[in-house]
Amino acid sequence: MFVRLTISLTVLGLLAACAPPAQAILVDEAWARPAEAGTNSAVYFRLHNGSRADELIGVESGVAQAMIHLTILEADGIVRMEHQMQVSLAPGEMVVFEPGGLHVMLMDLAADLQVGSTVDLLLMFRQGGAHAVEAIVRQP
Amino acid sequence: MTHRPEGSGRFGLLLVLTALLLAGCQPTYQFHGSPYPQPQSAPDLNLTTTNGQPFNLAAYAGRPVLLFFGYTHCPDVCPATTAEVSQVLDELGPQADQVVFAFITVDPDRDSAAAVRSFLDRFDQRFLGLTGDSAALAQARQAYGVFAERDSDDPANYTMTHTSRLFLIDPQGRLVTNYTFDEPAEVLLADLRHLLQEN
């Protein structure tokens, strides 16, 4: 009995050692629209998920109140924005935050966003925890 | 009296007829976006530019005019559309001076003339910003079938749900087509090039 348990634990330990570690989430091509203090802006980027399913569940910024929004274009040409409580990420999936789609909305900016400056964001993932992002301010 | 060979008159007539036939066979240019089947005169706008001058569409006769209804606090679609027009004008080069882009606010409570000017200057100082009182702006929206509504009762932090179409008026003052936000910049560039070439 003891020998069988020892073998089982050894096999499990070996398997765990052979399994690749969960890959981290990568964020790239982050940029924000220039805007003046008191108005709004948007941040765009690409999310490359790692090897496990995850969810983006929140976002913070020191320069403004930040929310995840989705721009929806209706058939009649009307656009509206929908607040997203979370964004699901399948293993290995890339999700693009882009004009006219998903974006991080920055509301009531505390300072001007000048071209060439940067905006710091903190993306919160259910599994992956907090992820710091630096977005460059530029025109598209 | 000079006697012309009998065949030369017939040949000339044939040439004229051929030219007429070829002209008739020229395909009508098909505008991109959502072209109007029978373009009508674009409704005029009783609005004011950001420098306080009355705006009259007739003053821009002979030039293509683009109209967009948006607001300066718009985080996504309005700056994206304005940036796209700016890029298209860059592509047009010197001909861009003939194109008029007018941005009409749908958010007069926050969009002062100065705010609209400042917003547009981030893209192109040639862009016109149009404001007016609520009644004049509502009339302009109605004339172009534009919807606009606040999405929140919060007096400071709200966004606008609004029509995002970009309207194209030809140099003859006719509303020829409009584009939704998802149309690529290339189609606007092609349509403007056509109008400028035709002009």
Question: A73 at the B interface (CB within 8 A)?
Answer: yes
Q: Which residues of B touch A65 (CB under 8 A)?
A: 157
- The confidence band for A9, taking pLDDT boundaries of 50, 70 and 90, is very low
Q: How many angstroms separate the CA atoms of A8 and B141, rounded? A: 74
Q: What is the mean pLDDT of chain A?
A: 88
What is the structure's pLDDT at B12? 62
**A13-36 pLDDT per residue, tens:** 444 444 445 568 999 999 999 999
Q: At A133, phi and psi to the nearest 5?
A: -135, 140
Q: Which residues of B touch A78 (CB under 8 A)?
A: 147, 161-164
* Residue A1 domain-assigned (yes or no): no
Comparing CB atoms, the residue among B119, B159, B165 nearest residue A81 is B159
Q: Report whether pLDDT(A78) > 50.
A: yes
* Residue A13 domain-assigned (yes or no): no
Q: Report whether pLDDT(A71) > 50.
A: yes
Single pTM value for the model: 0.84
Q: How many angstroms separate the CA atoms of B61 and B44, rounded? A: 12
Give every CB contact of residue B141 below 8 A, 6+ residues apart in sequence: B69, B106, B147, B148, B163
What is the mean predicted confidence (pLDDT) over A66-88?
95
CA proximity to A35, closest of B78, B85, B107:
B78
Lowest mean pLDDT among A63-67, A121-125, B18-22, B43-47: B18-22
Domains and CATH numbers, chain B: 33-198 (3.40.30.10)
- Which is it for strands A41-48 and A94-97: parallel, antiparallel or unpaired? antiparallel
Q: What is the mean pLDDT of chain B?
A: 90
- The confidence band for B11, taking pLDDT boundaries of 50, 70 and 90, is low
What is the structure's pLDDT at A5? 43
Q: Report whether pLDDT(B18) > 80.
A: no
Q: Which residues of A touch B164 (CB under 8 A)?
A: 73, 77-79
> In Å, how far is B83's CA from the nearest CA of chain A?
7
Q: How many angstroms separate the CA atoms of B119 and A134, rounded? A: 24
ipTM over 0.85: no
Q: How many angstroms separate the CA atoms of B127 and A83, rounded? A: 31
Q: How many CB pairs under 8 A join A and B?
A: 77
> In Å, how far is B144's CA from the nearest CA of chain A?
12
Q: What is the CATH number of the domain that holds A90?
A: 2.60.40.1890
* Residue A12 domain-assigned (yes or no): no
What is the structure's pLDDT at B157? 84
B100 or A3, higher pLDDT: B100
What is the mean predicted confidence (pLDDT) over B70-75?
96
* Residue A118 domain-assigned (yes or no): yes
**B159-179 pLDDT per residue, tens:** 999 999 999 999 999 999 999
Contact A39 B73 (CB under 8 A): yes
> In Å, how far is A37's CA from the nearest CA of chain B?
10
Domain region containing A108: 22-137
% of chain B residues with pLDDT over 70: 86
What is the structure's pLDDT at A10? 53
Count the Cβ atoms, other than its own, within 10 Å of residue B169: 26
Q: Which residues of A touch B185 (CB under 8 A)?
A: none
**Is B65 within 8 Å of B45 (Cβ atoms)?**
no
Instruction: Give chain A's domain count.
Output: 1
Q: How many angstroms separate the CA atoms of B128 and B143, rounded? A: 19
What is the structure's pLDDT at B34? 96
What is the structure's pLDDT at B155? 80
